[in-house]
Amino acid sequence: MDFKGRHIWIIGASEGIGRALALELGKRGAKLILSARSTDKLEALNAQLDDNHTVLPLDVTDVHSVQQAIGKIQNLDGLIYMAGEYRPGPICEMTANDLSQMMLVNFTAPADIVRTLLPHMRASGGLIALCASVAGYRGLPNGQPYSACKAALINFTETLRAEEARNGIDVRLICPGFVRTRMTEKNNFRMPMMIEPAEAARAIADGLQGTAFEIHFPKIFTCFMKLLRILPDGLYFALARRL
């Protein structure tokens, strides 16, 4: 995709990778629709982008809020879903609300937004890019249900790609490794090959301008994580226990 003049909706644009991606795509000439819960942060981001874009606050956990936002969008060439919810720890230490919030933000909301937009996008084509994680490649200790949500989103995006190619919709999957954000600050373990949000944003933008289905980075780390998917169960769980 050539971003110049294209109307791109970024959900989760107020901070982290989503914010950095908005800045990167703004440099590449995109016309952005910036969404997240925090109006103040979105307005500040738009000001940094010379007030050339649309601020559209929403809460992905509120169906009514999402539907209202979709109703206000007149031109749309692409959706990039970057919102995420992460609460690390063993499942026995989580509340029912922890579980529902992670499932809602990381899987149910993007799936429902895509479901709602598809009839409109089929008419003119466009881009749908959903941000999962390498954590979804295989179940990781203290990663549930986050890993499970991201695994579901990976599967959903693969299915969507297979179904919608004939309708002219370019479906992409984004799987970052460790990026220095509010979410990774919650971890109390060593995170190898950590990168900054600006570097992640460049990798995503470059990937979307390429042809690969999956955009994953940093490559050395993500390729190692991909190897875990093909390890025999016994070998994988022996390694997981050490983690």
Residue 35 sits in a domain whose CATH number is: 3.40.50.720
Give catalytic status of residue 146 as yes or no.
Answer: yes
Q: Which of 81, 86, 137, 146 is catalytic?
A: 146
If you average pLDDT over residues 172-187, what whole number do you get?
95
The answer to whether residue 218 sits within a structural domain is yes
How many domains is the chain partitioned into structurally? 1
In this prediction, residue 157 carries a pLDDT of 98
Cis geometry, peptide bond prior to residue 145 (ω within 30 degrees of 0): yes
Evaluate if residue 243 carries a pLDDT over 80: no
Which residues constitute the domain of residue 95? Answer: 7-242
Share of the chain above pLDDT 90, in %: 90
| pLDDT digit string, tens, across residues 18-37 | 999 999 999 999 999 999 99
Q: Does residue 2 form part of some domain? A: no
On the CB side of 109, how many CA atoms lie within 13 Å of its CA?
29
Identify whether the C-beta of residue 72 lies closer than 8 Å to the C-beta of residue 33: no
In a domain, 93, yes or no: yes
1 domain-assigned: no
What digits encode the pLDDT tens for the residues 74-121? 999 999 999 999 998 889 999 999 999 999 999 999 999 999 999 999
